[in-house]
Structure 1
């Protein structure tokens, strides 16, 4: 009887299933005992993999951990790891669904602001680890004529995000990470909603509050809508000032035109 050796891909998939504790995972048949049972040997690697994923979640969600405590966070994180294993080897991209997991967790239901705080932390994580990109050269705008200005679109920086919440999650985030118990105690959860512009500047990730109209305008531009359309939706005299702020902060890296004759990007600068 001839026994075919597994291919490298088959072996990798079997070990991955075992590392993630999947029901169909059994790589023990490929492991030499050598003084230690195959499952025990695989268990060492499984524990290392789980510990690595737990550490990644701790790094991404430090404010959430501070709010719920280390023991609760670890329990929630391990459940999340079990239900939502990683699909990529890039640890910085792991944990995107953790805020939604917390929102469905009965044990966290009393902390109504927790999922939005986690969503904010994920946005900060994305901005922090986004690829580097050169800001838009504003001289490109000088090359546009009146017709072009009707069709111009801004290509967003990979490190730019907008978030909104009915809770002052930015104040919660700052107070928790700075360990300012007094500021945390003075936060009014029933205060007005917040709209946040998150981006990575020269000194790291920055977070600014903005008005609701500014948020809608920024979100429209980040989604690729033409500047003219975004301005029609938000006819605020201060919008031009806010656009200048976005441009100065490096929110955009390039421009393109929405008409067919000028569909190519003008002077791409992403690195």
Structure 2
């Protein structure tokens, strides 16, 4: 009986599954022992892969790690890696569902603010690593009359995010990362919910609190709703001032008058 050798792609996929701990990923028969058992050789690479993923999670979630301690964080992260191995080679994109994983961990149930703190850190991570995009040229708005403006749709910057939380996660995040124990001790977890605008500016990622109306307005625009629809629940005066702020912060990179942004898009430039 002739056994066909795997193709390079098949071998690479098998090694990948082996390193990530999948039961069907045994590639030891293709490893040259050379003084060390094949599984021992693979174990070295498996440990390296797991350590790399653990480091990636630590870099993305420094505040979470500080809140729970290094030992707890490592244990949670290793469980997460085991249950949710990466599907991409881009480590910056690994860990998106870690906040949901924390929310389901019985051991972290008492830290009710932890999942949302993690969600803030993920939003910051996304904004930080989003591709560069040229801000919308505000002179483009001059091409539309008053009637057109209500049908305008804005294309958001890849580095713009909106986050709502029942807890003051921005204050927790700032206090933890600045190691300000006094500020952390004075945080009131029963305070009003917070709405946050996260974006990358010239000096880095900024996290800004918004009023509820501003949050709904921003979320609607980022979701691609028309300016008319986004204004439904927001007073015109408040919306006008906040829209000016969003435009000044480079929240948008493009503008259109149609659902088919690809056919009526004006001046999009992403680098």
Q: Paired residue for 1:171?
A: 171
With over 3 angstroms needed to count, the CA separation of the structure-2 counterparts of 1:139 and 1:108, relative to structure 1, is same
TM-score (norm 2): 0.97
Q: CA deviation at 1:263?
A: 4.3
With over 3 angstroms needed to count, the CA separation of the structure-2 counterparts of 1:261 and 1:117, relative to structure 1, is closer
Secondary structure at the aligned position of 2:237 is classed as: coil
Q: Paired residue for 2:96?
A: 96
Q: CA deviation at 1:147?
A: 3.2
How large is the RMSD of aligned CA atoms in angstroms? Answer: 1.4
- The answer to whether residue 241 in structure 2 is matched with residue 241 in structure 1 is yes
| Matching of residues 58-207 of structure 1 within 5 Å | 58-207=58-207
Unaligned runs of 5+ in 2: none
With over 3 angstroms needed to count, the CA separation of the structure-2 counterparts of 1:233 and 1:47, relative to structure 1, is same
Q: Distance in 1 between matches of 2:5 and 2:20?
A: 23
Q: Paired residue for 2:232?
A: 232
Q: Paired residue for 2:32?
A: 32
Instruction: Report if aligned partners of 1:217, 1:234 keep a CA contact under 8 Å in 2.
Output: yes
Q: Distance in 2 between matches of 1:261 and 1:156?
A: 12
Q: Distance in 2 between matches of 1:63 and 1:6?
A: 44
Instruction: Report if aligned partners of 1:257, 1:263 keep a CA contact under 8 Å in 2.
Output: no
With over 3 angstroms needed to count, the CA separation of the structure-2 counterparts of 1:108 and 1:261, relative to structure 1, is closer
Residue-by-residue CA offset, 1:128-157 (whole Å, 9 max, x unaligned): 000000111000001112332121100000
Q: Distance in 2 between matches of 1:266 and 1:184?
A: 46
Q: Distance in 1 between matches of 2:269 and 2:128?
A: 20
Q: Distance in 2 between matches of 1:260 and 1:92?
A: 30
TM-score (norm 1): 0.97
Instruction: Report if aligned partners of 1:54, 1:74 keep a CA contact under 8 Å in 2.
Output: yes
Unaligned runs of 5+ in 1: none
With over 3 angstroms needed to count, the CA separation of the structure-2 counterparts of 1:183 and 1:270, relative to structure 1, is same
With over 3 angstroms needed to count, the CA separation of the structure-2 counterparts of 1:260 and 1:108, relative to structure 1, is closer
Q: Distance in 2 between matches of 1:128 and 1:98?
A: 18
Q: Distance in 1 between matches of 2:13 and 2:269?
A: 39
Secondary structure at the aligned position of 2:250 is classed as: coil
Instruction: Report if aligned partners of 1:151, 1:259 keep a CA contact under 8 Å in 2.
Output: no
Q: CA deviation at 1:268?
A: 1.3
